[in-house]
Amino acid sequence: MDIPRVKKPSRTKPMIITAAILVVVGTVGLAQLRPAAPTVERGTLWIDTVKRGEMLRQVRGNGTLVPEDLRVVSALTAGRVDRVLVRPGAMCDVNTVLLEMSNPDVQLQSLDAERQVKLAEADLASLRASLESQRLAAMSTVGQARRDANEADRLLKVAQRLEGDSLTSSMEVDRAKDNLTEAKERFDSETNRLNLLTESLKAQLELRQAEVERLRAIAHFQVERVNSMTVRAGQKGVLQSLSLEAGQWVNPGQELARVAGQEKLKAVVRVPETQARDLTTGLKAEVDTRNGIVAGYVSRTDPGATNGSVTVDITLTGELPRGARPDLSVDATIELERLPDVIYVGRPADGSSEATVGLFVLDADGHYAHRVQVELGRGSVNAIEVRKGLKPGDQVILSEMGRWDAVDRVKLQ
């Protein structure tokens, strides 16, 4: 008799199902896990703590000391350099001769101008004598006319007296009257002629005198041209530049030398254009000359930007340290304002004012840092205002983290 076999339950299928379930659960779990955070060396990072309190807004710039009293000596006329008497760096007075030049043509023009003046003066003297002779002749004529009028008046009186005594006719009296009238008219005419001649003579002399004065001015200018070839400093100070040598030819208007006054210097610095929008005249400033810090204030701001920077003039009010001289390199710090009660942090390497940036904030344990969007406000040289995203006490990485833009979390070691 056959006995039926009882099949044992298979264990393979439950194991396959269990394995499939484990694979699914593992996949879901791994999908929910964070990717491994990249590691960053803590020693290479600049970490700062967010603070609350007064923040001093400043901007910095670098530049040089420039004399406020700078004289550029230029050539008034063309000429050849004969001698150079002073070299850059020497102290100069107002009448210090820097170099001597020569130009025969200029000297000849000066002599010719003097000759023209002498000729004009001779013509003026001759004209004055001639006009004076005419005036004297006219005055003599007027005197003769006056005598004739007086004589005619006397003859009329005699004729009238004789007529009264019946010793002459009325015709003689009328004739005497006509002679008197004619004599008076001649006298008046000669007097008017003398007045007109006097005014005309005065106008002619003034015109000729003006011509003489014009020629004298030309001669004076030519003399000044000759004298200008003996080049003088023109003010007290230090000779900054003079690069000419004996034998060189100089053209009119060419710069010959520069003389800088040593008594008053100012700082001319360049501020990045992104930080220059709040600059105004009158702001306090400090200038570091490497030998000391000098107080001052902003006296001028260039209206335009050049090569990404704005030029600012700082007038120095403090005493300059020893060794201060023109073209000395300096650093300036300009105080914009004081913010009394704000949240602020050190200025990030890639953060500008009035912008929203992503910064890495350290976790409580200090082993990891996660990215936070931070709204920044007004900035200073080393600090910047925090409007949103951070609170006092947070530790923030301020270093350049551009290589970690693709992650939101880093590990510090």
Residue ranges of domains in the chain? 39-66+264-412, 77-103+230-260, 104-227
- Give the Cα separation of 196 and 204 in Å (integer): 12
Same fold? 39-66+264-412, 77-103+230-260: no
pLDDT, tens only, 396-406: 999 888 888 88
Q: Would you state the CATH architecture of domain 39-66+264-412? A: Beta Barrel (2.40)
Collapsed DSSP state (helix, strand, coil) of residue 406:
coil
| Cβ 238 vs Cβ 260: under 8 Å | yes
Q: How confident is the model at residue 218 (pLDDT cuts 50, 70, 90)?
A: very high
What integer pLDDT is reported at residue 310 of this predicted model?
A: 92
**Looking at the predicted structure, is the pLDDT value of residue 115 above 90?**
yes
Q: How confident is the model at residue 331 (pLDDT cuts 50, 70, 90)?
A: very high
pLDDT, tens only, 161-200: 887 777 777 788 788 888 888 888 888 888 888 888 888 8
- Find residue 232's DSSP bridge partners: 97
Q: Would you state the CATH architecture of domain 104-227? A: Orthogonal Bundle (1.10)
Pick from 378, 308, 299, 305: nearest CA to 334: 299
Q: How confident is the model at residue 31 (pLDDT cuts 50, 70, 90)?
A: very low
Lowest mean pLDDT among 62-66, 75-79, 182-186: 182-186
- To the nearest 10 degrees (0 to 180), the angle between helices 104-164 and 170-228 is 170
User: For strand 293-306 and strand 255-260, is the pairing parallel, antiparallel, or unpaired?
Assistant: unpaired
The per-residue b/e assignment along 123-141, b for 16 or more CB within 10 angstroms, e otherwise, is eeeebeeebeeebeebeeb
What integer pLDDT is reported at residue 30 of this predicted model?
A: 45
CATH of domain 77-103+230-260: 2.40.50.100
Q: In the structure encoding, which two tokens stand for residue 17, read together?
A: 């199902």
